[in-house]
Structure 1
């Protein structure tokens, strides 16, 4: 992968206002997480404020806000190639369509991964400011953040491939809306059904939820998310490899 090609993608991002979209995603997720926490009855008494409430807020906010915004990020980054015949220009410069998709994932993936970490850090900081006195469950928080970052990156890869094949941005955005619905409703589905779509992994990675009327911490399904990462990477490489062969 050419460093120059990655730098070129970052240059395109400035024109496409990708940074602004990423900021909207970060602020939206962090804001929704904190809002859902401070309005929860479990957070009303300062002496009883807990990290479970904030983790539950994050576990709800990420699947609610991320899928559509990931679709928008991928669609904008790819649509510029459809509009400006960038696929041919890149191929002329020695960068195949599949290679260009891989470069786009690397460039936008850095933004998405950093945004996911920042969302988590902001909510953690909000908990400290709001006076949560219990020790931070650092291991769980880190594991949850990593699982959410992996899920976001797999969905980003999917939307990059989808946008590369379908040049109508509205179709990709429609898939993003559908993904949001699946991600939200997956929290009430059996784990076997949540495994059936990549959006269901938001539910598998949640770190806190209500059980029997009580808010409890949960352990994210690390093996499932790891399997998603491996499968997602393999399918992305296979699909982009096919793009290269078709172009040849």
Structure 2
């Protein structure tokens, strides 16, 4: 992993992770203010917290797919350009091992950004004076779900970027993923579950039902299945990479 962190310095991966954090948090806060959050700070039903959480779910689906794809693409593209796969193999590091190291290193930054998004928005809500009880269960539940989804999307794009040398193809697939994430609520649930980006819509933490903004039940079982199946597939595919000819 130390080699991957060294590569990050010149690839500006830290800057991209900062964009992931600030983009999601910033858009969420802006949407909340534009939605009249300041006039509902003391509502007993926690309307202001619901606005923030609903905005977080939307912003994550809007920003994360593309930024995660760029993170994966930049970290993997350097191997395609510099014949890094062969050089790593010559030193005893197989392509599959290299992909796992990339996921571990970039995934650490993604996990940090995901948790910070939630913490900063909670701090924002408290700072502007929300006085209704803080819905801890909903925030913790959504943050955990978002963490799993982001890491699943990152793992997918690392594998995709490793397999496809033309990174423009990977970016095109990421744009498709963005649309699935944002508009996935219009798709049948079974169809959304077939794509990692579809879980952004499935895990929407709050939304309007009629004229009421309400908390939504998070699909914890589906998210756990995504984590288990995603991990198994990632390990299986990277193990196949270990035996491929370079």
- Normalising TM by the smaller chain, what interval? over 0.9
Q: Contact 1:78–1:160 (CA<8 Å) still a contact in 2?
A: yes
Contact residue 43 and residue 53 of structure 1 kept, 8 A: no
| Alignment counterpart, residue 29 of structure 2, candidates 23, 29, 34 | 34
- Of 3, 8, 19, the match for 1:24: 19
**Residues 72-92 of structure 1, C-alpha deviation per residue, up to 9 Å, x if partnerless?**
000000000011111011111
Alpha-carbon separation, structure 2, partners of 1:34 and 1:197:
28
- The match for 2:73 among 72, 75, 80 is 75
Report the count of equivalent residues. 243
Instruction: Report Cα offsets for 1:53-110 as digits up to 9, x if no partner.
Output: 1000001000000000000000000000011111011111111001100010000000
Structure 1 runs of 4+ with >6 Å offset:
none
The Cα offsets for residues 218-244 of structure 1, whole Å up to 9 and x where unpaired, read as 221100000001111111111111111
Task: Judge conservation of contact 2:41–2:132 (CA < 8 Å) in 1.
Answer: no
Change (3 A) 1:43 1:224: farther
* Corresponding residue to 1:211 among 205, 209, 212: 209
Are the aligned partners of 2:40 and 2:48 in contact in 1 as well (CA < 8 Å)? no
Is 203-212 or 152-161 further displaced after alignment? 203-212
Question: In structure 2, how many angstroms separate the alpha carbons of the residues matched to 1:34 and 1:41?
Answer: 11
Cα pair distance change 1:58/1:165, threshold 3 Å: same
| SS in structure 1 at match of 2:218 | coil
**Which ranges of structure 2 fall in alignment gaps of 5 or more residues?**
none
How far apart, in 1, do the equivalents of 2:186 and 2:81 lie?
41
Which has the larger displacement, 23-32 or 192-201? 192-201
Pairwise CA RMSD: 1.3
- In the other structure, the counterpart of 1:233 is 231
